[in-house]
Amino acid sequence: MTTLRFILGDQLSTDLSALNDADKKNDIVLMCEVWGEATYVRHHKKKIAFIFSAMRHFAEDLKSKGYSVVYKRLDEHDDADFTTALKRVIQHHSIEKLIATEASEYRVLEMQKSWSDKFDIDVELRGDDRFLSTKQDFEKWADGRKELRMEYFYREMRKKTGLLMNGEEPEGGKWNYDKENREPPKDGLRFPDRPDWSVDSITRDVLKLVEKRFDSHFGDLKPFEYPVTRRQATHYLNWFIENALEDFGTHQDAMVQDEALMYHSHLSALINVGLLGALECCEAAEKAYQEGNAPLNAVEGFIRQIIGWREFIRGIYWMKMPDYESSNEFNAKRDLPEWFWSGKTHMNCLNQAISETKQNAYAHHIQRLMVIGNFSLLAGLDPKQVQEWFLLVYHDAYEWVEMPNVVGMALYADGGVFASKPYASSGSYINKMSDYCGQCSYSVTKKNGPKACPYNYLYWNFLVENRELLSKNQRMGMMYSSLDRMSDDKKDAIRDDSKRFLKALDEA
C-alpha cells in the first residue's frame, strides 16, 4: 500500500507525528507551496521568503535522510490550495492512504477534515505532539475555573516538564521572576552582534520568486539574514544562550531607538515553523543556568514565554474557536490608519515599532503590546483589521498564536477571557521603558493640547468611553477614582483633544 505523508510549511521537523513509522522505501512525503496560503492575507515578503526557503531546505534534508519527497514549488504548478495539490498527487501516484499532522490553524484543520470525503481514501490525522500540552489537556485544566490565568497553567507546565524544579518546589523558591525583568533601558547598554548566514542558491531562488510574484506585499525583502535550516537554527539557539540570555531577562521589556533585537532570542519563528523544538530551547536555557552561565531571572523568563505563554495561548485559541475571531467587546470600528503600512507618523514610538516591523518582519513583545496594541485599543481600531495586520506583518505569526494575543491581550476584545484588565497605558509607560519619547514630535509630559502625547489623552478618553464596561473591574477602580477627581475642564480637554486627533486619524 502506498501511503502519502503530507507536511505543512510550519511542520518542518523530522519528529513530526506524520513522519512517525514512515516506510522510507515505499511512502511518499508531499510538501507544496500554494498561492492561496501565501495570499489569504498579504503576508510580509520576508515571511513568505523565510517559510518557502525553510520548506525547500527541509525537503532536501528529508531526501538526504532517505525519504521519497514530492515537492511542488509555486512557480512550477497552478494548484491554488492544498486540496487541489493533494488530489493531483494522490491520482498520479495511486495513493491508498494519507497521513497528516493536524494543522495549527482552525481554517486549515477544517480543510483537512474534509479530505476523507473528497479523496475517497483512508485519511489519518494525527495530533501535533510538538506542543507540550494537548488541546484536551488544556480544556481539562480550564474546566470549572472561574478565571483562566497563565500563571497557574504555567506552574502546572513546570511540574509536568520538570524544568527549573527542585522536586515539587520551584528553583529559587519562586515560580515567577517577572518583577526582576522590567528594567528600563540605561545609557551604556551594549548589544551583541548577531550571526549572519550567507544566502545559498535555494534561498536566492526563493528571493527571486518573492520579488516577482509578491512585489505588492508589505515589507522589505532584503537584506535577508535569517536562519532557514535546522543546522542554522540550532546555531542561532546556541548563540543566544551564550551571548544574549544573560541580559535578556532584565531588559526584555525595554525599547531602544534603532535597536530592533537587543537581547531578545529572535527564535519564535524558528520554533513555530518547526526548526527548533520548544522543549529543546527550554532545556538549553536551563542548562546555562545550572552551569552558572545565566541568571535565574533570565532563564525563568525565557522558559515562561515558551512553556507558559506559548502553550497557554494555543489552548485558548482551540478552546474558543471558531467564534473567537469575531470578539469585539468595545464595538470598535475604526479603520487602520494608512501609516500602519509605512510607519510614517509623528509618534516616534509607533514609527520605530512599525518601521522595524516593515524592515524585519519582527518587533519584540513590548513593541507589539504596549506600543502598537495599546494604540489600537485606545484609538478604537477594528479588531478584525488589527488581527489581520498582526498576522501578515510578523514572520512568527500564525493564527493560533496571533489571534489570542491580539483579541485577548492587546485589545481586550474578548471581555477578559484570560486578561484581568485591558493593557491600556498613557505615554508614561512608553517613556519609562524606552528612549523613544526624547526624539518624538510630541511631548510626553504634556497632557493636553496639539503638542501633547496622544497616548495621554486617548488613555483617559478610552476610560470615559467605556466606563459602563470597565468601571466594575476591580483592577480599574483606582484609575476611575482618578478620573472622577478631575475637573470638568480637564475632562472637556480630554474629549476635545481625542476628538481632534481621531478625526485627523480618520482623514489621514
Q: 181 and 306, same structural domain?
A: yes
Predicted confidence at residue 117, as pLDDT, reads 92
pLDDT tens readout for residues 220-258:
999 999 999 999 999 999 999 999 999 999 999 999 999
Q: Is residue 364 part of a domain?
A: yes
Q: Is residue 53 part of a domain?
A: yes
What domain count does the chain have?
A: 3
Predicted confidence at residue 508, as pLDDT, reads 72
The CA-based angle 364-368-372, given to 5 degrees, is: 140
Is cis: bond before 170, omega within 30 of 0?
no
CB atoms within 10 A of CB 84: 14
Where is the domain boundary, 108, 126, 144?
126
Position of cell 479603520?
Answer: 335
* Residues of the chain under the 70 pLDDT cut: none
Q: 313 and 351, same structural domain?
A: no
Q: How far is CA 386 from the centre of its chain?
A: 13
What DSSP string runs through 164-211? TEETTEEGGG-S--GGGS-PPP-TT--PPPPP-----HHHHHHHHHHH
Predicted confidence at residue 78, as pLDDT, reads 85
Predicted confidence at residue 329, as pLDDT, reads 98
Predicted confidence at residue 293, as pLDDT, reads 97
Which whole-number Å values give the CA distances from 300 to 90, 233, 250, 409, 452, in the listed order?
A: 47, 22, 11, 21, 38
Q: Is residue 331 part of a domain?
A: no
d(CA 252, CA 250): 6
Domain that holds residue 81: 3-126
Strand ranges across the sheet with 3-6: 68-72, 28-32, 3-6, 97-101, 122-126
d(CA 227, CA 170): 34
Q: Is residue 119 part of a domain?
A: yes
- Residue 321 is given by DSSP the state T
Say if residues 274 and 130 touch (Cβ distance below 8 Å).
yes
Predicted confidence at residue 487, as pLDDT, reads 97
Q: 141 and 271, same structural domain?
A: yes
Say if residues 26 and 85 touch (Cβ distance below 8 Å).
no
Q: Is residue 210 part of a domain?
A: no
Q: 432 and 409, same structural domain?
A: yes
Q: Is residue 54 part of a domain?
A: yes
3-state class (DSSP) for residue 434: strand
Say if residues 119 and 142 touch (Cβ distance below 8 Å).
no
Predicted confidence at residue 188, as pLDDT, reads 86
> In the Cβ-directed half-sphere of 249, how many Cα atoms lie within 13 Å?
21
Assigned C-alpha cell, 365: 513583545
